[in-house]
Chain A
Amino acid sequence: MTVALGEADMPMIRRRRISAVARGDRHPWTFYALATVFILYVAALYGPMICIYLLSFQDIRGGLVFPMKGHSLHWFIDLFTQVRTGDVKGSFDRSIKLAALVTVITLVVSLMAGLAFRRRFLGDTVVFYLMIGSLVAPGLVLGLGIGLLFQWIGISPSWYTSALGAQLSWTLPFGVLVMFAVMSRFNSAWEEAARDLGASRWQIIRLVVIPVLAPGLVAVALFGFTLSYDEFARTLQTAGSLNTLPLEIWSMTLNVTSPSLYALGTVTTIVSFIIIGACIGAIIVINKRRGMRATGH
């Protein structure tokens, strides 16, 4: 009896030790090992990028490697005034317009597809696998296909037709996947309540679905904009005669060997960061307002 009791005590002691760990009294050694891995990962993720941002602020003597030679905005001015670096301003302009267009279409189409996929419907598997196929298809191959298709139909490719479609074939699967994640937390009881109260289908979407899903829709917009703004492989063969910004950067990597390449990297990353910051900020503000309303009532 006593022996049995002693044995039964063992797990109790064990559990006490573990729950002490879980309460936060002491971190296990694995915490420190994994924290080190995490910190090294983040350092490797951002370190190289920070290097080129720093190097883009060198003066006219600057080269492609450290040490820094002086400080100036020379390479940024060079970027927008020199002809040999290509049509940076024009391509920048086109990229922003195209990304805005892609964002709007991605938002609307992803929302609608997300609503459709809440229930199973005839042929849903076909649509789903078409989407996954479009996501994993090699961009350059798809670009050739779109190029040949346009050639056969007799439409000349341009950034606002063939490249727009090519980019949508990339951003839409991402947008719909994000919508799946967002929709999984959508309670259909809210929708039913609205219907019981006499709301029309459009009213339900406008007054219930869109406000509830707002943070998720901002995330879809973020994906739409940034993926289009940086898209390269699918755009390469479909943009026609006028370049988008990533295509401009690509041709620069092949023939420009001055820090103006880094300066372009800095400029385009700043634009990305502004978009990312605005979207994350919007999501935080929406959630905070909701929290205040929830506690206020």
Chain B
Amino acid sequence: MQRPNLSAWLYVTPLMLVLVPFFLLPTLVVLVASFFETDGFGGLLPTLTLSNHVDVLTSAQTFLLYVTTLKFAILTWLFTLIIGFPVAYFLVFHVRSQLLAIGLFLICTIPFWTSNIIRMISWIPLLGKEGLVNSTLLGIGVIREPLEVLLYSGLAVVIAYVHQLTIFMVVPIFNSLARIDKRVVEAALDAGASRLDVMRYIIIPMSKSGIALGSTFVISIVMGDFFVVKVMSGGGSASVVSAFYENVGVLQYPAAAASAVLLTLVLIAMIALILRVVDIRREITQ
């Protein structure tokens, strides 16, 4: 029993040598810094205080930031699921040639390996005041004046998020759907089940793990983002992290750290809620 443990730890040591100094310790540093005071010049005074946390928790601005960020997170989650599920379902159950399925799957995943910022700014020529959408709508006479809400608005933020993050829904759902034994579906149809029954009693329950995993990705990314909100809202909206970043910018590290601690707790609670549905570890390693 002892030896295999030892060799496994030997293999996992390099991973820990990255995770401890670049994830565990920095997280603890932020936690500690949230209880410190600032000297106003970017230095930290090691006098323990709860005032940073009290300030964050009692500020009306914090509440508004969370409302905005949660609104973006929920809308993005909803749209990525509505788009991602049919896309994954189509690839698994309707594309018969395996080679074609792999090719189409790659087409969906390639943008994931390119720059997020570039994909975000690529909406400017489409959604801008003189952009393609407005000029087309003006051209066919649907609207008389260009729509201002398309770019630099909440709508643009959600569009950019959905554009970037649907892939995070597609891949886990694709994986869980691909594991469904097609004979189970056939057996159900033979036994007289309707398409809706198959969807309700077989497909959706068996793809729950993929949906949970995809939701975890989408929600944690939106909650932790600031650059999409900053650019696409045109300064109109702020997110929890953009407020955090402003605090960092003016060297208010303890205040920033306190809001980061709150964000982390909220994130952990949300993810724990999602993962009650599914044992993530078993799903990933099996």
The answer, yes or no, to whether B115 is at the interface (CB within 8 Å) is yes
User: Does B98 reach chain A (CB closer than 8 Å)?
Assistant: no
A131–B280 alpha-carbon span in the complex (Å)? 13
Q: A109-B15, A113-B15, A116-B9 are in contact. Are A146 and B253 (CB under 8 A)?
A: no
| A96 lies within 8 A of chain B by Cβ | no
Residues of A in contact with B, size category:
35 or more
Q: Judge whether A152 is part of the interface by a CB distance below 8 angstroms.
A: yes
**Chain A residues closer than 8 Å to B131, beta-carbon distance:** 65-66
Task: Using known A-B contacts A38-B87, A145-B29, determine if residue A222 contacts B113 with beta carbons closer than 8 Å.
Answer: yes
Q: Is A239 an interface residue (CB 8 A)?
A: no
What's the tally of chain B residues with a CB closer than 8 Å to chain A? 92
Total contacts A-B at CB 8 Å: 267
Q: Give chain B interface residues in 112-152, CB to chain A under 8 Å.
A: 113-119, 121-126, 128, 130-132, 135
Check if B23 is an interface residue, CB within 8 A of chain A. Answer: yes
Contact of B224 among A109, A137, A184, A246 (CB under 8 A): A137
Report chain A residues within 8 Å CB of B186.
Answer: 18, 22
**Does A15 touch B at the CB level, under 8 Å?**
yes
A125, A133, A227, A246: the one within 8 Å of B23 (CB): A133
- From 19 to 35 in chain A, residues with beta carbon under 8 angstroms from any chain B beta carbon are 22, 24, 27, 30-31, 34-35
Chain B residues with CB under 8 Å of A165's CB are: 18, 21-22
Q: Does A158 contact B (CB under 8 A)?
A: no
B48 within 8 A of A: no
B7, B124, B186: which has the most chain A beta carbons within 10 Å? B124
Report Cα–Cα, A81/B125, bound state, in Å.
25
Q: Which of B1-60 contact A (CB under 8 A)?
A: 4-5, 7-12, 14-16, 18-19, 21-30, 33, 44
Q: How far is the CB of A274 from chain B (nearest CB, A)?
A: 11
The residues of A that contact B257 with a CB separation of less than 8 Å are: 144
Q: How far is the CA of A275 from the CA of B163 in the complex (A)?
A: 22
Q: Which residues of B are at the interface with A, using a C-beta cutoff of 8 A? A: 4-5, 7-12, 14-16, 18-19, 21-30, 33, 44, 83, 86-87, 89-91, 94, 96, 104, 106-108, 110-111, 113-119, 121-126, 128, 130-132, 135, 163, 166, 175, 186, 189-192, 195, 216-217, 220, 223-227, 231, 241, 244-245, 248, 253, 256-257, 260, 263-264, 267, 271, 280-281, 284-286
Interface residues of A, Cβ cutoff 8 Å to B: 11, 14-15, 18, 22, 24, 27, 30-31, 34-35, 37-38, 41-42, 44-49, 51-52, 55, 64-66, 105, 108-110, 112-113, 115-117, 119, 121-125, 127-128, 130-134, 136-142, 144-146, 148-149, 152, 165-166, 168-169, 172, 176-177, 180-181, 184, 222-223, 226-227, 229-230, 232-233, 237, 246, 249-250, 253-254, 261-262, 264-265, 268-269, 272-273, 275-276, 280
> Contacts A64-B128, A136-B217 given; 5 further ones with Cβ under 8 A?
A65-B125, A113-B12, A136-B220, A172-B18, A265-B121
Q: Sample 25 A-B pairs with CB under 8 A, ordered by A number.
A: A37-B87, A45-B111, A47-B126, A49-B118, A49-B122, A52-B124, A110-B15, A113-B14, A116-B8, A116-B9, A121-B12, A130-B16, A136-B267, A138-B267, A140-B245, A141-B263, A141-B264, A144-B257, A144-B260, A145-B27, A145-B29, A145-B30, A180-B284, A230-B117, A265-B121
